[in-house]
């Protein structure tokens, strides 16, 4: 790796997006390919091992989220209300479909090979990336803010603290619609890699870990984080980003306080707290072999328009034990 290394924060990419970094995602196949979405209307593909900006796509509106399907194809959504696909080795995008309002989030469901979008138009869209066909749009109780898929289970987090859980093989009706365990707006939701539940973060510095199984709701819990006490005032920051480690099942959280924590959800322990980044953490992603954590340090507009540190992407290389839980639960 070349260029600047900021002490303890990890290695900083040299050509970061020039406006808010809305999302970053590592390739599911290549441990050093990183895709980013930005408010500067660009999608960028980096090779982080050589600190190289491989490819750029210019959109007409800010890009809010991106995802990979395989190592060669990516998908983007944003304020232009369209779902687009990209061949990562070529310029140009093709439109797959659109929503009535901005599309906030996009995920790839590996099991079914479908793309799933969540929009502020209160719908979840399901798409077939091979034929560019819409497989249906499903009305939700509120604007969709975040969603994630594990196996056949889809979790959709919405405004009004609604959370709906679907089986993606039967999107016509939800398995469950529940109220978030958190009392404030959900910012991010991510599924446990073991398929048993999901974690969500709210604007009120709190993370909840819930299980899908309605019968075992006692197992769910929530805890405070991303807070800071200054002069007796408890500053509570939003939890903007969650990312699960691909092999250990531990997860990282990033907040508007600029802090990244690594949690062991099984043992209910915090494993790591990294030194504060220059500004809000807007997105986090582990790479496919779990050796790197990408951190987007990018002001998230929590306090409106204001001067803020430049947007930057840090790549932390993780020690073998860094995100490993002390004891794994009995499988």
Residues in contact with other proteins by CB under 8 A are 20, 22, 39, 60-62, 64, 79-81, 102, 104, 120, 143, 145, 159-160, 184-185, 187, 203-205, 221-229, 232-238, 256-257, 259, 263, 268-270, 272-273, 275-276, 300-305, 319, 321
Q: Which is nearer to other proteins, 44 or 143 (CB)?
A: 143
Q: Which is nearer to other proteins, 11 or 266 (CB)?
A: 266
List the structure tokens of 132: 């560019």
Residue 41 CB, nearest approach to other proteins (Å):
8
Question: 134 by DSSP, 3-state: which?
Answer: strand
Question: Edge-to-edge strand order for the sheet containing 114-119?
Answer: 103-109, 114-119, 123-128, 133-139
List the structure tokens of 175: 């398995």
- The Cα–Cα gap between 114 and 104 comes to 17
Question: 214 by DSSP, 3-state: which?
Answer: helix
Query: Considering Cα of 225, then 191, then 301, then 101, what sign does the dihedral take?
Result: negative
Q: Which is nearer to other proteins, 30 or 125 (CB)?
A: 125
- The Cα–Cα gap between 141 and 162 comes to 7
Residue 183 CB, nearest approach to other proteins (Å):
9
Residue 322 CB, nearest approach to other proteins (Å):
8
- The Cα–Cα gap between 104 and 34 comes to 19
Q: Which is nearer to other proteins, 125 or 258 (CB)?
A: 258
- The Cα–Cα gap between 50 and 32 comes to 9
Residue 95 CB, nearest approach to other proteins (Å):
12
CB atoms within 10 A of CB 162: 19
List the structure tokens of 234: 């408890």
Residue 18 CB, nearest approach to other proteins (Å):
12
Residue 301 CB, nearest approach to other proteins (Å):
4
């Amino acid at each position: 790796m070349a260029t600047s290394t900021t002490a303890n924060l990890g290695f900083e990419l040299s050509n970061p997006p020039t406006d808010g970094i809305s999302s970053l995602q590592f390739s599911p196949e290549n441990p050093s390919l990183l895709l980013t979405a930005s408010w500067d209307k660009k999608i960028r593909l980096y090779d982080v091992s050589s600190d190289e900006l491989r490819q750029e796509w210019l959109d007409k509106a800010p890009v809010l989220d991106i995802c990979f399907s395989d190592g060669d194809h990516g998908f983007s959504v944003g304020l232009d209300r369209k779902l687009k696909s990209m061949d990562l080795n070529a310029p140009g995008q093709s439109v797959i479909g659109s929503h009535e309002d901005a599309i906030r989030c996009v995920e790839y469901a590996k099991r079914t090979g479908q793309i799933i979008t969540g929009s502020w138009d209160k719908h979840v869209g399901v798409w077939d990336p091979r034929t560019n066909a819409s497989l249906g749009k499903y009305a939700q109780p509120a604007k969709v803010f975040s969603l994630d898929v594990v196996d056949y289970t889809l979790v959709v987090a919405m405004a009004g603290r609604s959370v709906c859980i679907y089986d993606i093989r039967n999107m016509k009706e939800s398995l469950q619609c529940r109220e978030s365990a958190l009392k404030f707006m959900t910012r991010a939701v991510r599924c446990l890699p073991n398929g048993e539940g999901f974690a969500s973060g709210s604007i009120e510095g709190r993370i909840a870990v819930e299980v899908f199984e309605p019968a075992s709701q006692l197992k769910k819990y929530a805890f405070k984080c991303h807070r800071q006490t200054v002069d007796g005032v408890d500053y509570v920051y939003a939890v903007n980003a969650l990312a699960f480690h691909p092999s250990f099942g531990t997860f990282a959280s990033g907040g508007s306080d600029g802090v990244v924590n690594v949690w062991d959800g099984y043992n209910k322990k915090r494993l790591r707290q990294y030194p504060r980044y220059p500004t809000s953490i807007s997105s986090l992603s582990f790479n496919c072999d779990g050796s790197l954590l990408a951190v987007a340090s990018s002001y998230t507009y929590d306090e409106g328009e204001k001067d803020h540190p430049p947007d930057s992407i840090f790549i932390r290389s993780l020690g073998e034990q860094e995100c490993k839980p002390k004891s794994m639960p009995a499988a």
